[in-house]
Each structure stands twice: as C-alpha cells, then as structure tokens.
Structure 1
Amino acid sequence: MEAWRSKVEKLVKISPTHVTFIGFGEAAQAILSGWGRDRPASIVAFDVKTDQPASRVAKLADYHAHDVADGQTAADAVTSATMVFSVVTADQALAAAKAAVPGMRSGTIWLDCNSCAPETKRQAAQVITAAGGHYVDVAVMAPVHPKLHRVPMLLAGPDADHAAEILKALDMCPKVAGPEVGHASSIKMIRSVMIKGMEALSAECLLAARKAGVEDEVIASLNASNPEIDWRTKGAYNLERMMVHGERRAAEMREVAKTVAELGLPDRLSRETAVWQDEIAALDVDPEEDSLVDRLDRILGAM
C-alpha cells in the first residue's frame, strides 16, 4: 500500500496541471482524445486559424468540441502553462516560439513536436531558453491515428529525461534519444527522406502507369520484386496520405531538404518530394474509397 501511495504521489507531483497547445489541428486533437477524462485540469489552445476570418468559426468549434479554452493569442495561451505542446506546421515552428515567449513564465516546458530541421529546432531552443523555458526537441514517429496520445515520440535535449517522465505520467510513449537538441529531429527528418519519398515515387509511378493503361502489369511486377509489400494497397494508402496531408508533408520535406543540405549532401530528391506532395494536395481531391484505381483516376482528372 505504501509503495502504491508513493507512486501516486510521484505521478501527481510530476503531472502538469496547466497544458497549452500551440496549434490545434489533428495532432493536438488526437492527443486530447486519447487522454479522455485523465487529461490535465486546465487545457488552453491557440491556433493561428482563429486569426483568419475564413477559418475562425471552424477552429473555435474545434476548441468547443474538445472543451479547451481559447488562448486569444499565442502569448496569452501560455501565461499559466506548465507544459506547452507546439504542434504547428513545420514552417511555423520558430515563429510560434517567438510569438509565445512574451507571455511564457520561467520554468515552462516547451515540447517542440514539429517536423523541423535540427537547425530550426536549435534556433527555437535559443528563443525558449532565453525566456527561461525548458526546450525539448520532440519527433513524432508515427501517424497520430489510431495511436492518439500513445503515438511514439523521441525526445532530445538537456531536459528530455524530465519531460519523458511527465509524458509517461500522462500515459504517453516517449523515448529519450539524447541530450542534444536536434538529435530527435535528425532521426525524424532523415527517416522522412524514405517515407515521404516513397509516397512521391508511388504517385509518379502509379499515375504514369494508369495513364499508360498498364497499372495492372506494373503492380504485378512490383509485387513479384517485393512480395512482402501489397503494392495496390500500399499505393492507395500513400496517395491518401498525400491527398489529405500533402501540404503539411511538403512543409516537412522542405525542412528535410534543409537537413540534408546542412550535412553537405545533395537534397534534390527531398526537394522534388516536397513538390509532388504540394501538387497532389493542391488538387483538393477527396480520397473517398480505398480503391487505388479510383484515387488515381480522381487525381488524373483534376490534373
């Protein structure tokens, strides 16, 4: 009984009571949904879409649906926060940190969960630490659905171990990658060369095959060469990722290209992957059914 009480007291001590989400899209909402009734006592959110007339009403509805307070501005949202999840698009990560620090109190833990180049994370870390905050480089290593708050996360930075304990108390799945900011990001960025690159290759290969009328033969050949992969299913999934999330994935791939270039290597494949991701997303085509051919035809019809 004493051991159990000690464990509970420890968890209560390290669990944050005031959490802020900067950015309130799919990732933030998935984490909140996963926590359910075990969520921290106070949740505040701020998303730049509330500043845009075209998206303000819908974003305020998201806040209401998840029972979170509207932070008005990034600085206002973090005023009472003990922990902040920054979950914006990759190109806005540094700007989000700069916008929040005027309202951030000393000691706040800033979890930078954005898919950014290591150098971008290091710049954000300087902004947060200069304001007295504790910056943690976080790499989200899988889609947030269906895992929700249990999605695997890599943490890096001087405060990564402490942050990991807090996240574990929230029933999350952190793993410490190292003590240097940028280490977790490097793993995520370099992995994305392959993951998002395969999506772009799938689009180029299968769209060309469908337009030439040889998709069945091409898929049969791919299945013969790689029997561990069902290319028809995998191709449909890759297209869905690009159709629904291509804009965000393109932003990430531009950070990936930056990462590769900073290592002194050619970044042309990563740059072109970003182009494909952007182009598919810009078509604004609904994936609808799981059929690969249906998705190919819908994309080709919109191109």
Structure 2
Amino acid sequence: MSQSGKVLLIDGMSFLFRAFYGSAWGGGYRQTSSGVYTNAVYGFTKMMLDYAELVRPTHLIVGWDVASRESLVRSQWYDGYKSNRQAPPDELIPQFDLVKEVTHAFSVPNLGCPGFEGDDVLGTLSSRLAMEGHQVIIATGDYDSLQLISEQVSVKILKNGGKHEHFDPASLLALRGIIPEQVVDVKALMGDASDCIPGCPGIGEKTATKLIIEHGNLDNLYENLANCTPKMRSKLEENREQVYLSQKLATIIRDVPVEFSYDEAAWQYDRTTVHSKFEELEFGRTLAGRVS
C-alpha cells in the first residue's frame, strides 16, 4: 500500500460553472487578445490553487461529468432526470477542454466515466482512497456529497464569495442533525427540483429531516407508517414507489469503472510548464505569482 496521504478531490463541473457565473455577472467575459474565452478557466485555476493552499494535499484529482444527460445511467432509471438542464452558454463550451489543458499542465489527473456523473467518480475515488488509509477532502458545490462523509472523508461545500462550509461526521450532525447514511433518505423524501428528483409531494426539507431522524432510515419509516398522522401516512403510501426511485437517483455510485494511478496524482508540477500555459492564456502576473 502507498504511504498514507491527504488527497484533495475537486468537483470539476462545480468549480468551472461557479467560476464562469461568478465572473460573468457584470456582463464581461475574460478573453485573450485573439478572442479565446478564459473567464471560467481563470476562475477555476484560482479556486484550485486556493483549495490546494488551504488543504495542502499530497495528491490532487479532478472529477468530471463526461456524458450527455440522455446517456446517463440515471436517465435510464428515470426519463425526467435532470430534464430541466439548459445547454451551457456559448462562451463556456470551449472552456471545458481548455480547463483540462490547464490541469494537465499541473500534472493533475482529469477523471470521468461514460454514463456516470462527476459525483460518482468522486464517490468511487473517495471510497477507494479511504479504504487504503488516505485522508480525503472533497471540494464541491453539491450537498449530495455529504453522503460520502466518514472518519476519513470530509467535504467542503463551496459558497459565494470564495467561502465554504466544512463538513465531517461531527459537523454534519451538529448542523443538520443527521449522519452521512441519512443524507440520501432525506433527499428521497424532499426531492430535488434542480435534478428533477421527484421525492414525496408535500414534504419539504424540514419534515423530511424530522421523519428520518425519528425513524432512522426510509425502510423503518415505511415499516412504521401507523405511527404517522393519517395525512402523512396517505402521502407516503401514495408515493412509495416514487420515494424509493428518488432514493436510488440520489445515491452516489461508489463502484464506477474508473482507473487512476495514485502516484500520478501527486500534487507536484513543473513551474515552467504551468507558466507557459498561463502565458498562452494571458492570465497575467497575479496568478503566475502563486505558482512557485
């Protein structure tokens, strides 16, 4: 086994979209002198360096979505999954490949798996790495990742203004009253409009959390419907199939067939290679000064 390390896993889509919209609100998009859009790539790179400085990892990996919505495993389970997603802005589309050129310059692996989402890639990696004895920190904007928390896996949820919320088992319990194993069951009841996960109509986050805390998990809740109010019992009975489908959709898959080399993920890079890429993208001195 490799010597125990500290691995930073970055949710590539979360970082890139946040970087794009965070820098685009004023209507101006950073471009090179030849007209190449770089605002999302610049913001992504800054955020990656911010978190690398904060966490001080021995290794760093970026996980990506690599499939269209239609080809996702979850879309085969439920046709409506993420059906409300709009196409990304034209200014962002070329930056999906460009950002991977930058991470490549840093010798950071970009990992994805057809049919699966970045969450599944990070879930698989975090599970494998934790089993091997490594400490894992996931940086993402997606609260679904809270289900991955363990004694060896913590999650940093991106917030506006460059801030984040740090979650480990203790802070998850203190802030939300639940344990990692209950995260999915809460979402199964409340649903998620952003991913088109239906949940149980009429049950919001507060009620979902209360029910799961009281009963421990979804199965126990359904085994004890007699203890619920008639109105609640009726809702849950009527939507049982939909609730269990929502549980399946919300569960991060932790065994996707993604290959990676731990040694190749070491957070060490050639300064000259990085500066050359920065120069090509006209990133300027501020960012270059942080790469020593």
Q: What TM-score results when the alignment is normalised by the length of structure 2?
A: 0.31
- Larger relative contact order, structure 1 or 2 (CA cutoff 8 Å, min sep 6): 2
Greater share of residues in helix:
1
Give TM-score, length-normalised by structure 1: 0.31
